Structure 1
Amino acid sequence: MKDLQAILAIARQVGWGASEILKSYYHGTAKNPELDVQYKENEPVTLADIAVSRYILEQLQSALGHEDFAYISEETYESELTEKSAKLVWIIDPLDGTRDFIQKTGDYAIHIALVQDNRPILAVVAVPEAEKLYFATLGGGTFVETPNGINPIQLTSGKPIADLTIVASRSHRNPPLDYLLAKFPAQNHKSVGSVGCKIATILEKQADVYIALSGKSCPKDWDIAAPELILTEAGGQFTHFDGSLLQYNTGDINQWGGLLASNGEHHQILCETAANLLAHFPD
């Protein structure tokens, strides 16, 4: 196997290439820009999702092969026979925020994560409309790459809880989450699509906390794996409400329960507050 930095260089290059493909569909400059929106389990899928999934898989598999790696992409996972015991697994979301992509909000991203022993060790999150690519390796810190260069990201805060800003989903809402957000001690709210874009707002210090609850829809491995690592390597935290770490490639692609991401400050108190509030949700 190549060393992690060499693999990261490949993943970054693939992330930029995928960004260009998505932008061509988003701005109508692709050879065939029609999105042909279909629905799978009430979630939209477009030709852009499929084209970028194919591109990422072809590029990674061409460079890295199948001997050391397995591959899980949102658009193809049902047809893949990925062994849970595979030591190194790529978990890919070719277009996170498809609804926002269709609605032209700009809040869409590409997630590429490499998972070992159920935890991410390498991550790329590309935000095409911002022309930014965030990347991280376990123990190596988080960086943001733009056409002008590469800079490290390190989170700091110093705000009291009441002054924190919560970034929440535009479309994946449910009554328990609305109840929780209404009762939470931090009442500054920001609506952003795509988990990758939400975590980017925390990295860019435009928000401080992200909360997700499973309901009719549930975050999947590919929604969370790459954003988690770019946040935690910058000094943030991303856990279940009980403080336990998220696990990936377990045989269940769903991330059940309550999840909370933060800039790292007040994280335990925020998790405890969320759990206590949710315990009083009137069923």
Structure 2
Amino acid sequence: MKDSKQTKKLVEIEEIVRSVGWGAAKILRSYYRGEVNQGNLEINHDKTDGPVTAADVAANHYILEKLQAVFDSDTFGYLSEETHQGNDRLVQDWVWIIDPLDGTRDFIDKTGEYALHIALAYQGRPVVAVVAIPEAEKLYFAAKDHGTFVETADGTVTPIRVSERNQIEDLFLVVSRTHRDDRFQKLIDSLPLKDRNYMGSVGGKIATILEQKSDVYISLSGKSAAKDWDFAAPELILTEAGGQFTHFDGRPLTYNNGDVRQWGGLMASNGHCHELLCQQATELLAKIDGDQ
């Protein structure tokens, strides 16, 4: 994927997805601000993975409609949180992985800390990504081997990089305010990091690392696990900005495996202490599990 011709093609795709991302962000903002007639809190309680708002459905429909008009379904698969069914792996090499509203609870609770994710994966690895933070009116985008950029509502585009903090005791962890089981709480309490920042959506969390406010994000599965669409786009915008995003044992994440759940411990960081953080997390987790 490092071929210059291939990179040029990915950048062309990135341009299209940026436009789609801004359009979907506008839809989410209109629902969030109550500008849509049906109201923004139309909840579908039948969804097993949590509340789904009318905004989810509207943004998802818009994203799929725009992408499918350009990228045919024979060549490109579509893996969306709102349309995913079953555990069959999509057969296409190129797969769009979409979360039209990451941080639904934050959307409902009016924290403003929701995001939308659109990623294109090639053979299980992300190569184009957009993460939009509608209430911040920012859109982060990346193409493989081409860097990460942030675009603001006025059209200004700026390259963005992770922090240079390189001592574990100087690093800031970003976590949710809630949704932590005892095992995860013990893990993050045991890591010798400087301080914590709090943010809702995964996309928002990774954005704080890009903005150099945070340096570390950890996902640890319990009874359930985060899904492909939670990580595919945030991973690429982080790694193209100089960070790392792996399993605790250093393995890369892979997507479109059939089971969309990302089990185990995952470490995202500014990259400078990544291996040491993974090692410490693994050792601490073994001790926590041994004590139970």
Give me the TM-score of the superposition, normalised by structure 1: 0.95
Contact 1:71 1:82 in 2 (8 A): no
CA contact (8 A) 1:70 1:82 kept: no
2:252 counterpart (223, 242, 245): 245
Q: SS at 1:38's partner residue?
A: coil
Aligned residue in 2 for 1:210: 217
1:264 aligns with 2:271: yes
Q: 2:152 is aligned with what amino acid?
A: T
Specify which of 273, 278, 282 is matched with residue 285 of structure 2: 278
Supply the AA of the counterpart residue of 2:52: V
The residue identity in structure 2 corresponding to 1:22 is: L
C-alpha displacement of 1:159: 4.3
Counterpart Cα distance in 1 of 2:179 and 2:35:
29
The reply on whether 1:134 has 2:140 as its aligned counterpart is: yes
Q: CA deviation at 1:228?
A: 0.1
**1:36 offset after TM fit, Å?**
1.4
Aligned residue among 30, 33, 36 for 1:30: 36
Percent identity (aligned):
55
Query: Which residue does 1:54 correspond to in 2?
Result: 61
Equivalent residue number for residue 229 of structure 1 = 236
Amino acid at match of 1:115: A
Deviations along 1:62-108, one digit per CA (max 9) or x if unpaired, are: 122213211011011117x9753311000000000000000011110
TM-score, normalised via structure 2 length:
0.93
Task: Please report how far the alpha carbon of residue 41 of structure 1 lies from its aligned counterpart in structure 2 after TM superposition.
Answer: 2.2
What aligned pairs does 1:165-176 form with structure 2 within 5 A after superposition?
A: 165-176=172-183
**Cα offset for 1:191?**
1.6
- Aligned CA RMSD, in angstroms, stands at 1.7
Superposed CA deviations along residues 109-144 of structure 1, whole A, max 9, x for unmatched, are 010000011100000000001100000011010000
Query: Is 2:37 the counterpart of 1:3?
Result: no
1:82 and 1:61 mapped to 2: Cα distance? 20
SS in 2 for 1:44: coil
What are the within-5 Å matches in structure 2 for residues 138-157 of structure 1? 138-148=144-154, 149-157=156-164
Number of positions where the alignment pairs a residue of Structure 1 with one of Structure 2? 282
Distance 1:104 1:217 in 2: 25
Unaligned runs of 5+ in 1: none
1:87 maps to what in 2?
93
| CA distance in 2: counterparts of 1:200 and 1:45, whole angstroms | 23
Equivalent in the alignment of 1:192: 199
- Asked if 1:201 is matched to 2:208, the reply is yes
Q: How far does residue 20 in structure 1 lie from its aligned partner after superposition?
A: 0.4
CA contact (8 A) 2:130 2:233 kept: yes
The CA deviation at 1:215 is 0.9
Other-structure match for 2:20: 14
What 5-or-longer segments of structure 2 have no aligned partner?
1-5
Q: Distance in 1 between matches of 2:175 and 2:153?
A: 29
C-alpha distance after superposition, 1:144-198 (max 9, x if no partner)? 0112310111223134211211001233311111000111111411121110000
Residue in structure 1 matched with residue 105 of structure 2 by the alignment = 99
CA spacing shift, 1:204–1:30, aligned 2, 3 Å: same
* 1:30 positional shift: 1.4
The aligned counterpart of 2:186 is: 179
Counterpart residue number, 1:112: 118
